Amino acid sequence: MHVVAVFGSAHKGNSETLAEWCLEHLEEHGARVSRYPLRAMHYKGCILCNGCKTGSESCVLRDDLTPALEAVPGADVVLVSAPVWFLDVPSQLKAFFDRWYAFFQPKFWKNNYAARLPKGKQVVMALSQGQPEGFEDLLVRYNAVFTVMGFMPMHVIRGYGLRGPGEAARRDDLKAQARAVAARILNGQPPEHILPAYR
């Protein structure tokens, strides 16, 4: 099992702690993990040049994000982690997702949003946030993106009420949650909770 892990925070903080607990459990059971911390990279978001639709089957921008994008098609599992900032994921991670435009086939809008990625990949989203609840709409929106790309229903790791650095590391309940998600992936099980469809 090959796992591509993309860390979307500007800091090595709570969301990455959640992700690493899941990844460590997967590695303990033989998974190979490729880690991509976006905070260490220099790259652009999609510039809608359509080079990926007219002369190439991949993004024509070449920068630090290229290896992460090139790893996604061959991954069995994609894990992304991020804090919730201003009702969404940080701009670093949003730019990564915008570059997924290259994973759509030419004229995809005429062909049921046909993607170039192999179908059936698993996906995990690990989110940390200061608020004690909320932002489920964020998960529903990104799950819709993954679904269109042919992924299986999204697994979720949620860290609520994390207002300071290192708080996740002191929460045994969050560690158990992350390892339980890893176990479901290893066993080929669907998520414990299926997100509603995006409307």
* Residue 119 pLDDT > 80: yes
Alpha-carbon span 44 to 19, nearest angstrom: 24
* Residue 197 pLDDT > 90: no
pLDDT grade, residue 19 (50/70/90)? very high
Phi/psi region, residue 23 (left: phi>0; alpha: psi -120 to 50; beta: rest), is alpha
Domains located in the chain, CATH noted? 2-186 (3.40.50.360)
The average pLDDT across 17-46 equals 98
pLDDT in tens, 72-110: 999 999 999 999 988 899 999 999 999 999 999 999 888
* Residue 49 pLDDT > 90: yes
Give residue 113's pLDDT: 86
* Residue 199 pLDDT > 80: no
Give residue 148's pLDDT: 94
Q: What is the average pLDDT score of the chain? A: 95
pLDDT in tens, 140-195: 999 999 999 999 999 999 999 999 889 999 999 999 999 999 999 999 999 998 99
- % of the chain beyond a pLDDT of 70: 100
Give residue 109's pLDDT: 86
